Structure 1
Amino acid sequence: MYFTDRGIEELAERRGEETVTLDWLAERMKEFVDINPDFEIPVERLATWLARLDDDFEE
């Protein structure tokens, strides 16, 4: 288990029943980066990874 899993588990426990849009999530991520600019790169990488999940990757 990674240390970050605790936060992910807390998110699932506290908000797992909610339905959100990707627009809502994108706005929360922008707000987070505005408050925590040191996390700009990891948040950008996560957003890019989520955006490209359905892309076909040639290996």
Structure 2
Amino acid sequence: MYYTDRGIEELEGRRGEEEVSFAWLSDRLRTFTDLNPEFETAVDRLATWLARLDDDEDE
């Protein structure tokens, strides 16, 4: 288990039953980046990866 899995496990445990929109998620990512600018690159990479998930299926 990676160290980051702890946060993922907590997220799933606390909010796993909730449904959210991508607009809500985008807003939370912007807020997080505003509060933690040192993570801007990681957040940008995650957002780009999520946005392009279906691209491999089209090829």
Q: How many residues align?
A: 58
Instruction: Name the Cα RMSD after superposition.
Output: 1.3
Give 1:56 deviation, angstroms: 2.7
2:50 counterpart residue number: 50
2: distance between equivalents of 1:52 and 1:29?
17
Residue 33 of structure 1 pairs with residue 33 of structure 2: yes
Q: For residue 18 of structure 1, give the secondary structure of its aligned residue in structure 2.
A: coil
1:20 maps onto 2:20 in alignment: yes
How many Å separate the matches in 1 of 2:54 and 2:15?
A: 25
Q: TM-score, normalised by structure 1?
A: 0.93
Q: Could you tell me which amino acid in structure 1 is paired with residue 44 of structure 2?
A: E
TM-score by length of 2: 0.93
Q: Tell me, which stretches of 5 or more residues in structure 1 are unaligned?
A: none
Runs of at least 4 residues off by over 6 Å: none
Between the aligned residues of both structures, percent identity stands at 67
